[in-house]
Amino acid sequence: MAVLANLLRTYVTSTGTGTLALGGAVPGFLTPAQAGLANGAMVSYAIIDGVQTEVGRGVYNSTLQTITRSVLYSTSNNALINVTATAEFVVTFLNEDKTDLEAAIAARILNAANQVLNSNLNVVNSQTLKGRATSGVGNVEDLTPAQARSVIGMSQTLSQGNWYRYVTGNVIILTGTLVATTNANGEVTLSYPVAFPVTGVHSIWQNGDPATSGQAAVISQPSGNLGSATSVNLRLWNPATGAVANTPFRAVYIAIGQVS
């Protein structure tokens, strides 16, 4: 993920479409060293050169004082612009960085939830628990791990992939992996392996793996579709080209709902 460097804005001493050579700081701004940019750091950048502009991502070399260029968007049909001696280089924050940040946050939430779930599953699998295998019916007895998981509402496996369901208080947490192929509109339905008792389910997804290498795809919900207790529609979207149709991809999700 790209890093930030506050107030970093310099002149460019190279020309053309190759790697940028950085000069001194624009008055009122800082050089990479002054802004604390580390060698090898990847940044999101903007190049401003008269009526030409380019944004993308590049890697900083502190020894050579250069930045590589991988363009995302530009005024030259999204190609590298031909930099002149008047160009300036700026470290900035792009829409793609927001997407990466959201995915990183979702991944942290998912990882924390799975740690809790795995910890509870290990307890259930490794200890002998006593209870009633059928709710409110029968004698108290030693439960098998499968019976114990059933009693506390926790499941482990499903044919389409691993998933976990955890109930605490009045909250149900469901995590899993969806493997599917989008339709002609770039959409696919995520059907929860176990339906939630009530609607109002909130779900978060981490970006999956589009089949096309390097494709800048993001997952979103189609407008007006908030999902239900049993499923939610997802859309695979490329900011540059639109809906990603007829494409296999994987999404990791966490869904949270109420018991009643």
Cα dist from 251 to 133, 168, 188, 235, 243, whole Å:
34, 25, 11, 11, 16
C-alpha distance from residue 55 to each of 44, 46, 168 (Å): 7, 4, 46
Using left for φ > 0, alpha for ψ between -120 and 50, and beta otherwise, residue 186 falls in left
CA 21 to chain centre: 32
Count CB atoms within 10 A of the CB of residue 51. 7
Note the pLDDT tens digit of each residue in 162-199. Answer: 566 666 656 777 777 777 888 888 888 888 877 877 77
How far apart are alpha carbons 244 and 208 in whole angstroms? 13
Q: Which two tokens stand for residue 104?
A: 């990183």
Dist CA 80 CA 53 (whole Å): 9
Q: What whole-number percentage of the chain has pLDDT above 70? A: 62
Mean pLDDT of 78-88: 95
* pLDDT score of 46 more than 70: yes
Mean pLDDT within 155-167: 51
Report whether pLDDT(106) > 50. Answer: yes
Highest mean pLDDT among 29-43, 88-102, 191-205: 29-43
Q: How far apart are CA 188 and CA 153, in angstroms?
A: 27
Mean pLDDT computed over every residue of the chain: 75
Tokens matching residue 5: 């460097």
- pTM flag (> 0.75): no
Tens digits of per-residue pLDDT, 121-137?
454 444 444 444 444 44
Distance CA 52, CA 68 (A): 18
CA 72 from centre of chain:
18
